[in-house]
Every structure is written in structure tokens, then in C-alpha cells.
């Protein structure tokens, strides 16, 4: 019995105001509820009163929880969005700077791949120049085929790189700092 009173003491120390509020509001609801209400007949007067008090108490606790937690969550989401926007802008700047350093032929191939939806494009000629973006296996895939004895290069770019280019083009209307 002593443990029950100690538990109630701790409970009322932490939740005194919501408990009092829920008991007062439950009393008001109980007084305005007709005596022949079906729920009172099913669970008795005390049960109905305790049910109302419990529901109101839980509702008040939910409001207190929301009031305590939501501002922090909103701040976290807002900060996260700002950070993501900054990261996105920095990423686009790195992409544009990288593409600015490419030669004209490489930029043309990237643009053509962007326009075709990263479908294989073909260019006549031999192997690409050393130092070309097309020699970077992390970004581009290139193979040489022969048609009627004529060498033809087929090009594709990495899907992740393509999606970055596509995003840049759709959102900013460009894939580098300079318009070609």
C-alpha cells in the first residue's frame, strides 16, 4: 500500500496540473451527460467518469508533448533544409567547375548524352584524346566498334553523373557556368 501512495505521489508531482484539469473537465462532462446514456448504463457512473478523465488526461498530455517536441522538430527540419540547399548549391558549383574545365568536344558529348537521355551516342573516329573526360572510367563508358572497317566510338556516362547533369539542367537550365 505504501508503494501505491509513493507511486501516486510521484505521478501527481509530475502531472498535477493535467490531472486536476482532466478531473474538473470530466466532472463537467459527467454533469451534462444524461443519466440514461447508454455508456453510463454499460460501465456505471464511476467508470464513465474515470473514462472521461482518462481520455482528457491523455489528450492534455498529447498537447503538452506536442508543445515540447514540435518546436525542436520544426527547427531540425528547417535547419536540415537549409543545410541540404547549401550542400546542393556547393555540389552544383563543383559540377559546373568540373565541366567548365573540359574541352569543347567533351562538353558537346555530355550535352548530347543529356539530350538523348543517356542513350548510346556514336562518333566517328579513333580513340578519344588522353586526358579527356571520356578516358575517366568513373564518369564515362566508351568503346570502339568497327562498321565496314571504320572505327566508331560509342559513349555513355555513369548513371549517377547523368542524374546530376540532368538535375542541373532541369533546375538551373545549364550544366556549366558558361553557356555554350
Read off the pLDDT of residues 9-18 as tens digits, 9 standing for 90 and up: 777 677 767 7
Instruction: Give the CATH number of domain 103-172; options: 3.40.190, 3.40.50, 3.30.200, 3.30.1370.
Output: 3.30.1370
Residues contacting 50, CB < 8 A, separation 6+: 26
What does the pLDDT read at residue 127?
A: 56
Instruction: Give the range among 48-62, 116-130, 139-153, 165-179 with minimum mean pLDDT.
Output: 116-130
Model-level pTM? 0.54
For the chain, the domains span 2-80, 103-172
Average pLDDT in the 147-170 region? 85
Q: Flag whether pLDDT at 69 surpasses 70.
A: yes
Read off the pLDDT of residues 109-122 as tens digits, 9 standing for 90 and up: 788 888 888 888 88
What does the pLDDT read at residue 131?
A: 65
Number of Cβ within a 10 Å radius of residue 176: 19
Q: Flag whether pLDDT at 180 surpasses 60.
A: no
Distances from the Cα of 88 to the Cα of 36, 55, 163, 165, 167, angstroms = 65, 46, 13, 13, 10
What does the pLDDT read at residue 51?
A: 82
What does the pLDDT read at residue 174?
A: 83
Read off the pLDDT of residues 46-63 as tens digits, 9 standing for 90 and up: 888 888 888 888 888 888
Percent of the chain surpassing pLDDT 70: 88
pLDDT band for 179, please (50, 70, 90 cuts): low
Read off the pLDDT of residues 24-47 as tens digits, 9 standing for 90 and up: 778 787 777 777 777 676 777 788
- Tell me how far apart the alpha carbons of residues 13 and 5 are, in angstroms, rounded to a whole number: 12
- Tell me how far apart the alpha carbons of residues 79 and 112 are, in angstroms, rounded to a whole number: 38
Burial of 23 (0-12, 13-18, 19+ CB in 10 A): middle
3-state secondary structure 51-95: HHHHHHHHHHHHHHHHHHHHHHHHHHHHHHHHHHHHHHHHHHHHH
Amino acid at each position: 500500500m505504501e508503494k501505491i501512495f509513493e507511486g501516486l505521489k510521484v505521478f501527481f508531482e509530475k502531472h498535477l496540473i493535467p490531472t486536476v484539469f482532466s478531473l474538473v473537465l470530466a466532472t463537467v462532462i459527467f454533469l451534462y451527460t444524461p443519466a440514461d446514456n447508454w455508456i453510463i448504463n454499460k460501465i456505471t457512473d464511476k467508470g464513465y467518469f474515470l473514462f472521461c478523465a482518462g481520455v482528457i488526461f491523455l489528450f492534455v498530455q498529447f498537447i503538452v508533448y506536442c508543445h515540447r517536441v514540435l518546436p525542436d522538430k520544426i527547427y531540425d527540419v528547417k535547419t536540415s533544409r537549409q543545410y541540404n540547399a547549401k550542400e546542393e548549391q556547393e555540389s552544383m558549383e563543383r559540377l559546373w567547375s568540373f565541366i567548365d574545365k573540359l574541352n569543347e568536344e567533351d562538353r558537346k558529348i555530355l550535352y548530347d548524352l543529356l539530350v538523348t537521355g543517356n542513350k548510346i551516342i556514336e562518333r566517328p573516329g579513333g580513340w578519344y584524346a588522353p586526358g579527356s573526360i571520356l578516358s575517366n572510367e568513373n564518369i564515362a563508358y566508351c568503346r570502339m566498334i568497327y562498321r565496314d572497317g571504320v572505327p566508331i566510338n560509342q559513349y555513355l556516362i555513369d548513371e549517377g553523373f547523368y542524374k546530376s547533369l540532368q538535375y542541373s539542367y532541369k533546375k538551373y537550365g545549364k550544366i556549366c557556368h558558361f553557356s555554350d
